[in-house]
Amino acid sequence: MKPALSVIFLTTLIGAGQGLYLAYYSAEWFVMLNILPAAQVDYSGYAAGLSFLLLLTGLLASFFHLGHPERAWRAAAMWRTSWLSREVIALPAAMLLILVYALLKMSGNDCLVFMLGENIPISIATLAGFGAVLAVCALFVCTAMIYACLKFLRQWHSPLTVFNFILMGCASGFTLATAISTFARDGRFDYFSGMAVFLTLSALIFRYASLSRNKRLRGPPTLQSAIGVHHPNIRQLSQGAMGGSFNTRAFIHTYGVSVLRLARRGFLLMGFIVPVILLQFSAEASVLFFAIAFASQYLGLLAERWYFFIEAEHPQNVYYQMIS
Amino acid sequence: MTQLALVIDLNTCVGCHACVTSCKEWNTSGTAGPMVDRNPYAAEPTGTFFNRVQSFEVGSFPNTQTVHFPKSCLHCEDPPCVPVCPTGASYKRPEDGVVLVDYDKCIGCEYCSWACPYGAREIDEQQKVMKKCTLCVDRIYDQSLPEQERKPVCVLSCPTSARIYGDIHDPESEASKAINDAGGYQLMPEWGTEPANHYLPRRKVKITVHQEDLQRADNPLRKEDRGPRAPSTRTTLDDSTSW
C-alpha cells in the first residue's frame, strides 16, 4: 500500500493524545487512592487540554485524507457495520469528554457529586473523565480495527494490529506525560516514566511479533487464481492502461529494499530504543531529555506507521505484474 | 432473488477494447460521469475507467496462448467493499444485486478500495469520489430503449459476443446456462466474496472432419451418387466449323 500521510498523522497524534490523557487521569485516581502523593499544582487539566489539542490536530489531519471533507459528517451513519464510522463517532466523543474534563480541572469550578466509600471524592470532572476513558478505549479499538478488519490485507488482519495501536499510543502518551511531569514537578514522574518504559518495551515486543509474523505470511493470491487460468507459466503482457491507473498509484509502492530496511531499523531505534534509554534519567534531569525522548518516539512512530502501510500488500497488485 | 451479472468468455475475447471504450463513452456521458482523464492526448495518459482489458501470455514459447482478460467490478454476492463504507454511499441493491456508489454521499476516503481484493474501484481525480462499474444501471431498465438494447453497453458492443449478461440466480437465463455448460468460474474463489461475474475458460475448438461426414454415406436421400449429366458424344457444330 502507498502510505496515506494524513492517516499516519491522524493515528499517531490521536494515539499520543489518548495515551497522555490515560496517563494523567489514571494518576489522578492513584492520588485519590493515596498511592501517589498529591501535587501542589495539579497539571492534569492542562495535560488533558494538551491531549484535546493532539486529538484535534489528528482530526484536522484526517480531513486531508478525504476527497470531500465537507461531507465528513455523513461518515457517522454506518456504525453498525463500519469501524471507520465507529471511529468517526468515538473520536469527537472522546474529544468532547476530555475537553469537559480539562475545562473543569483548569477552571477549578469542579463540584463534588458523591463520596465513594470513606474518602474518595467523585466530582463531575472525575465522572466526565471516566466517560472519556471509555471513549478513549473505544477509540483505540476502532482506529486499530479499521486496519485489522480488512481480511484481504493479510499483514494487517491480526489481533497484533490492535495491540500495537493501543501499546504504541499509550507508550508515546506516557512519554509525553513524563516530560510534562518533569516540567511540572508534580510528583508523578516515577509512575509516568516507569509506565512509559514498560509500555514502550511491550510495544516493541508486539511490533516485533507482528514484523516476524508478516515475514512468514502465506503468499498473496496467485495469478492463476486471479485470472482463473491454471498454468504454471503466465506472463502479463499489458495491464490495460498506459500511464498507470488508480490501481497502480494507490496500492503499489516503488521503494527499494534498502529504504524499507532503513525505515524498519529507524523506527525500532527512534520509536523504542532511544526513548527507553532517555527515560532512564531521573526526575531531576532537564526536561529537555524527556522532550527529546518524546520527539524521538513520535518521529519513530511516524516512521512505524509509514512502514505499517508499506508492509501491507494489497491482493489487487497481482493484476499489475508489469506496466506496458 | 435476482443477481444480475456478466459472464465473460475468455475463449472468444480478442482483446479489442471495444467494451472499454464503449463503457467509457456511455458512462462518462451518463449518471456516473464525467469519468475524468489526465493527459488524454499526451505521454502517460491516465483516467477513470470502469472496465479494463489486460493481456496475459500463457505457456512457454512457442506453445503460448494470449489470454485477454476484461476486468471490472464483479458485483460480489458478499461484497467486502460495502460494509466498510462509513457513509453508506456503497451499497448492494437488494432487488438486482448490483453494487453501486452514491456519488452524492461518498466522502472519497478510499476505504472501500482498500477492502476490495480485486482492485475494481477507482477514485475519480476530479470529482474526488469512488467510482466503479454500475452494470449500466441507467441503461438496463430504460423503458425508452428497445428491449434488446436494455443491456450493459459493453455487452452490446462486444464484436465477438464474449460478454453475456443476465440473472445468474435464474437457472434458465443465458448467463446461468453459459456458466453451467461451459465451466464458468469466479475470480479468487478462496476469498469467499462470491463474485457474481463469472468467466468462461479457454476451450479447445479443434474438430476432426472425417470423409464419411462429408459423403453422407448412410443418408438414404444422399445425392452424391447422382453426378452431373454425362457430356454428349455426338458431333456438335463446333466440331465442324472453325472461326
- The domain A5-217+237-319: what is its CATH number? 1.20.1630.10
Q: Identify the top-confidence range among A141-145, A281-285, B44-48, B59-63.
A: A141-145
Q: What DSSP string runs through chain B?
A: ---EEEEEETTT-----HHHHHHHHHHHTSTT----EESTTSSS-EE--SEEEEEEEEEETTEEEEEEEEEE----SS-THHHH-SSS-EEE-TTT--EEE-TTT-----HHHHH-TT---EE-TTT-SEE---TTTTTTT-TTS-GGG-S-HHHHH-TT--EEEEETTSTTSHHHHHHHHTT-B-SSGGG----S-EEEPP-----PPPHHHHHTTT-TT--TTS-SPPPP-S--HHHH---
The pLDDT value recorded for residue A299 is: 97
Domain boundaries, chain B: 4-200
What confidence tier does B152 reach under pLDDT thresholds 50, 70, 90? very high
Nearest-10 crossing angle of helices A5-32, A124-148: 140
What confidence tier does A324 reach under pLDDT thresholds 50, 70, 90? very low
pLDDT tens track for A67-100: 999 999 999 999 999 999 999 999 999 999 999 9
- Record: contact B106-A67, CB cut-off 8 A: yes
Flag whether pLDDT at B220 surpasses 90: no
What confidence tier does A285 reach under pLDDT thresholds 50, 70, 90? confident
Contact status of A8 with chain B (Cβ, < 8 Å): no
Flag whether pLDDT at B66 surpasses 80: yes
Number of Cβ pairs < 8 A linking chain A and chain B: 181
What part of A 250-279 touches B (C-beta under 8 Å)? 250-251
What is the pTM for the complete model shown?
0.89
- Residue B54: list chain A partners with CB under 8 A: 236, 238-240, 319
What confidence tier does A322 reach under pLDDT thresholds 50, 70, 90? low
- Record: contact A78-B57, CB cut-off 8 A: no
Mean pLDDT of chain A: 93
A246–chain B nearest CA distance, Å: 6
Contact status of A319 with chain B (Cβ, < 8 Å): yes
The pLDDT value recorded for residue A120 is: 85
Flag whether pLDDT at A272 surpasses 50: yes
pLDDT tens track for A218-271: 878 899 999 999 999 999 999 988 888 999 999 999 899 999 999 999 999 999
Contact status of A315 with chain B (Cβ, < 8 Å): yes
Higher-pLDDT residue of A323, A83: A83
pLDDT tens track for A122-160: 899 999 999 999 999 999 999 999 999 999 999 999 999
- Record: contact B84-A81, CB cut-off 8 A: yes
Q: Decide if A112 contacts A121 (C-beta within 8 A).
A: yes
Q: Which of A71, A82, A240 sits opposite B52 (nearest CB)?
A: A240
Of the candidate CATH numbers 3.90.1150.10, 3.30.70.20, 3.50.50.60, 3.40.50.300, the domain formed by B4-200 belongs to: 3.30.70.20
| Distance from C-alpha of B193 to C-alpha of B203, rounded to nearest angstrom | 26
Q: Which of B54, B111, B190 sits opposite A238 (nearest CB)?
A: B54
B98–chain A nearest CA distance, Å: 19
Interface test with A, best of B36, B57, B72, B87 (most A CBs within 10 A): B87
Flag whether pLDDT at A2 surpasses 60: yes
Distances from the Cα of B49 to the Cα of A21, A212, A290, B176, angstroms: 46, 38, 52, 27
B162–chain A nearest CA distance, Å: 16
The pLDDT value recorded for residue B237 is: 80
Flag whether pLDDT at B57 surpasses 50: yes
The pLDDT value recorded for residue B243 is: 67
- Give the list of residues 6+ apart from residue B93 with CB closer than 8 angstroms, or none: B99, B100
pLDDT tens track for B31-41: 888 999 999 89
Higher-pLDDT residue of A217, B212: A217
